[in-house]
Homo-oligomer: A and B are copies of this chain.
Amino acid sequence: MREIHVEPKDYAYVIGPHLEPIATVQPGETVAFFTHDAFCDMLDSNDKVPADIHMPPCPQVGPVRIEGAEPGDTLKIEIISIERVRDWAVSAYRQELGAIVPTNTTRMLSGPIPEKTFIYHFDEATGKYRYNDKLCFDWEPFIGTIGCAHGLNSFMSITPFENGGNMDVPDVKPGNTLYLPVSCPGANFSIGDCHGRQGQGEICGTALEIAAKVTLKFELIKGKTITWPRIESDTEIMCVGAAKPMEDAARIALCELIGWLVELGWDEMEAYQAVSQCNKLYVGSMVNPNYVMVAKIDKEIAYRK
């Protein structure tokens, strides 16, 4: 199986249509990506804080050209596995990052909370990451940042948007399939920022940040157009919306989910009813340039005839 690595000097910090691809992948191909953590693997001690790391956040492996991809296609990505490539993870409080602290966008006169770093060590015996006796949590890995490029915008890789990006959605995990809209020739696919686990909302702004080996199988669905990311598990279909305020992100995810049911043959007003009575609606992340919401419904309901 093919592997894609990048050196620190080649990290991309932007997902966009203008970047030069570092590799080309064929539809049908399975590829392993070696991703770096959101702090460029440099926040490796409880004695350092985020302010010590003078790098942009969220280094990416990419962009990768998907052979034959054109605007209006859909990129289908089976998430085969996420493997640890080191025995530690890091979370940290960074000034101006977080859901319940003043930030660059929710500006306040009151001062920030102090920066603080949590290095978690993975314990093979228990299968848990451990900082101390209380902060000791299960391995539930997922991909924080994964996306195709927008047709015109080039966004910093911390940004979630309609082609994916830094969604920080825990359901983007092994065993599930992700569908992304293709908006530029070649798709300019990008990946990075894997998490050993994360609560819904990623409220302090960082998860258990890990370097990882991520194995993905790519398919290209020609001529199938979607407008926002979709996720499929064995039992559920899910739609992702990213916007501010949070209710607008929810509205996108909900309208997309109803639209998906309509594609499956539902009458729109009945789909609206089914979603109203049966959906889940959770916060993916609320610390990035857009808030991310996920709406989902059981396949058992969605595929009723």
In the complex, the chain B residue whose C-beta lies closest to that of A89 is B277
| Shortest beta-carbon distance from A277 to chain B in Å | 5
B250 & A247 in contact (Cβ 8 Å cutoff)? no
- Whether A16 pairs with B199 at a CB distance below 8 angstroms is no
Name the B residues within 8 Å of A45 (CB-CB). none
Q: Are B272 and A204 in contact (CB under 8 A)?
A: yes
Q: Smallest distance from the beta carbon of A127 to chain B beta carbons, Å? A: 15
Copies of this chain, whole number: 4
Instruction: Say yes or no: A250-B99 contact (C-beta < 8 A), given A199-B275, A275-B203.
Output: yes
Tell me, rounded to whole Å, the shortest Cβ–Cβ distance linking A304 to chain B: 5
Please report which residues of chain A, range 54-73, place their CB below 8 angstroms from some CB of chain B when the two chains form the complex. 56
B111 and A101 form a contact (CB under 8 A): no
Bound complex: CA A222 to CA B291 (Å): 36
How many angstroms between the C-alpha atoms of A254 and B100 in the bound complex? Answer: 8
A93 interface contact, C-beta 8 A: yes
Chain A, range 106-148, C-beta contacts under 8 Å to B: 106-113, 116, 118, 131-135, 137
Whether the Cβ atoms of B152 and A153 lie closer than 8 Å is no
Proximity bits, A30-66, B CB within 8 Å = 1, else 0: 0000000000000000000000000010000000000
Alpha-carbon distance A112/B109, docked complex (angstroms): 9
Partner of A105, one of B18, B198, B252: B252
A101-B105 in contact (CB<8A): no
Give Cα distance in the complex from A283 to B153, angstroms: 25
When the two chains form their complex, are residues B252 and A109 in contact, meaning their CB atoms are under 8 A apart? no
Q: Of B131, B244, B268, which is within 8 A of A245 by CB?
A: B244
CB of A162, distance to nearest CB on chain B (Å): 9
A201 and B281 form a contact (CB under 8 A)? yes
Residue-by-residue, is A210-244 near B (CB-CB < 8 Å gives 1, otherwise 0)?
A: 00000000000000000000000000000001011
Given contacts A108-B100, A248-B105, contact A280 B277 (CB under 8 A): no
Given contacts A110-B111, A199-B275, 8 further A-B contacts (CB under 8 A): A106-B248, A109-B272, A134-B301, A135-B270, A199-B276, A203-B275, A203-B279, A281-B282
A-B contact pairs, 26 of them (CB 8 A): A16-B154, A91-B276, A99-B251, A100-B109, A100-B251, A105-B248, A106-B251, A107-B251, A108-B110, A109-B258, A109-B272, A116-B269, A131-B273, A134-B270, A135-B270, A153-B154, A200-B279, A200-B282, A201-B254, A201-B279, A201-B281, A203-B254, A204-B276, A206-B276, A250-B286, A281-B282
